[in-house]
Amino acid sequence: MSAPCPRRSGLLPLLLGLAACLPAPVQAGTAGTESWLGLYFNGSKMGWSRIRVLPATFRGKPALKTLLTSVTRMELLGNKVSQDISATLYSDRSLAPLHQTYVMKSNGSTLALTAEYRPGRIVCVLKSGTGTSTKVVPVPKGVKLVGDSNNVIAGKPIAVGLKDTFHYLNPLTLALDRTDVTVQAQETVALGGTTYTAFRLTSTTPLGTLVSWQTSTGEMLKGDMPLGLSMIKEDRAAALNLKSAMPAFAVSGSAPSAAVYVPPSDFAVSTAIAANRPIESPRTARALALTISGLDNPERVISDSRQQAAPVAGQEHTYTFRVTARRFDPARSAELPVTDPALQPLLRRAPLLEIDNPRVLSLARRLRGGEKNAYKAARKIHEWVHKNMTGDYSIGVPRSCTDVLERPRGVCRDYATLAAGLCRAAGIPSRVVGGIVYAEGKFFYHAWTECWVGEWVPFDATQPGSFVDATHVKFAQGDVTDMYNVASIVGRIKVNVESVE
């Protein structure tokens, strides 16, 4: 069996970036408030967040200014990864968002998002390295927008039974995510030796269900998130201490959580999916049959000529997947240029795919040369990416193809982003794929590319050769931002291997 490649599970650090933006489904939202929150993974400290709400003026009108600072330190397959996030939100007095910035930094790379909220749309400008791209996100009529989940029921008296639905901009997918919040109960809780009367709320999000405890003024005491993540109120000194123990927390009538420091476990290994049986020589697997449960979003169930999925009768959110891998015959390839109108969107510039960048365009033309066989050209590009990239797990931030080309190192998402950008620049329709791949007894979250060469053919630039084995199972596809939709299944699915060839 092959060892887990350090370029795999590269999607996971980004999920923590999203989690840092969702520290609580409710905050008071009044000017002059400040909160310090410790971030824990399975009870071990891995970061902190600071949230401040200040009075402000935005374009000459009274507004609220919400400032978020978040620091995360984690270990992934033995590699240290850091994330530093800062965000600024201007909202009006009714808490409708007006203007937002979001900056994520990690080991020398930066992703910067500016979102301008206008009637019926959000204009997003994304910067990564020297690359800049724009996307307009439509806002359907009747949708209630908030700048982040800190402002959900702000300004309303909190009462048991209160419900609310809102949408917010996801900074990775550049799409609107929906959250449904319900005030479930009023409870007496103890945190760090202090007793509070608090409300327990549940918030359903694409990342899973969040449970939090809030005071009547909206102050967050604790929030339990998917993947074993928790945010808990701390004073400034305790929050900034990355070796501090998680404060004891208990709901009246239950035992308090133990405030014992445990060395942080590996996030990638902890969230990998254990297989019920080993797969020998996975890199040569040509056919794989799986039963996958926990897929509650039909958009994550993808069927095509390589992968067929079907629901299991009588089992909710459970599907059979059959993946067949084969080597593509270059003689069957389409010729370049590709003129099919239906494929033109996958030849265009997109967020994080600045294919008109002079360096990207020049390299793509040089690698393609005079090759008209689409498959051979795509294979040359992926071979170049594999040869010239260096595995580096320490970069936990989304990057554009221009940023990756300027600093050719990273994990699977970086390999896939650069390969897709170069292929599109060379005139080959390409999309980025998010899914899972098998290695050493588990399925790890992974990213790769698919190119249209007369049919859709997968390429994995993190591996040598052009054969992509059948343990590559996809749940998301499209532009780079679409790849991050796989986040919605992390920690929620189970995989049974039925057969393998």
| CATH code for the domain in which residue 452 is found | 3.10.620.30
User: Is residue 131 within 8 Å of residue 401, measured between CB atoms?
Assistant: yes
Q: How far apart are CA 374 and CA 426, in angstroms?
A: 9
Residue 394 pLDDT: 83
Please tell me whether residues 241 and 297 are part of one structural domain: no
Please tell me whether residues 391 and 436 are part of one structural domain: yes
Q: How far apart are CA 87 and CA 85, in angstroms?
A: 7
Q: How far apart are CA 487 and CA 476, in angstroms?
A: 10
Residue 272 pLDDT: 83
| 262 within some domain | no
Residue 392 pLDDT: 86
Please tell me whether residues 297 and 422 are part of one structural domain: yes
Residue 148 pLDDT: 56
| 152 within some domain | yes
Please tell me whether residues 327 and 400 are part of one structural domain: yes
Please tell me whether residues 154 and 183 are part of one structural domain: yes
| 264 within some domain | no
| 432 within some domain | yes
Q: Per-10-residue mean pLDDT for the chain, 501 residues long?
A: 42 49 43 85 88 92 92 78 90 89 91 96 93 94 77 65 89 89 93 92 84 86 85 95 92 61 58 90 96 94 97 96 97 96 96 95 97 98 97 87 94 94 98 93 93 98 95 96 87 93 95
Helix (H, G, I), strand (E, B) or coil at 347: helix
Taking CB atoms within 8 Å and a gap of at least 24, the contacts of 116-120 are 117/145, 117/147
| 7 within some domain | no
| 292 within some domain | yes
The residues near 69 (Cβ < 8 Å, ≥ 6 apart) are 49, 50, 85, 86
Residue 333 pLDDT: 97
Domain boundary among 188, 222, 251: 251
DSSP H or E segment with residue 480: helix 480-483
Please tell me whether residues 48 and 129 are part of one structural domain: yes
Domain boundary among 219, 251, 283: 251
Half-sphere exposure of 18 (CA within 13 A, CB side): 29
| 267 within some domain | no
| Predicted TM-score (pTM) of this structure | 0.90
Place of tokens 């979102």: 115
Please tell me whether residues 246 and 308 are part of one structural domain: no
pLDDT digits (tens, 9 = 90+) for 265-291: 566 677 789 999 999 999 999 999 999
Count of H helices and E strands in the chain?
8, 26
pLDDT digits (tens, 9 = 90+) for 302-326: 999 999 999 999 999 999 999 999 9
Please tell me whether residues 22 and 136 are part of one structural domain: yes
Please tell me whether residues 47 and 119 are part of one structural domain: yes
Nearest to 43 by CA among 221, 262, 218, 215: 262
Domain boundary among 251, 285, 314: 251
DSSP symbols for 373-419: BHHHHHHHHHHHHHHH-EE-TTB-S---HHHHHHS-EE-HHHHHHHH
- Please name the amino acid found at residue 268: A
Please tell me whether residues 40 and 75 are part of one structural domain: yes
Please tell me whether residues 107 and 175 are part of one structural domain: yes
Specify the number of domains making up the chain: 2
Please tell me whether residues 281 and 210 are part of one structural domain: no
Residue 156 pLDDT: 63
Residue 150 pLDDT: 47
The shares of helix, strand and coil residues in the chain, as percent rounded to the nearest 5, are 20, 45, 40
Backbone angles phi, psi at 427, to 5 degrees: 90, 15
> Residue 97 belongs to what domain range?
12-251
Residue 268 pLDDT: 67
| 265 within some domain | no
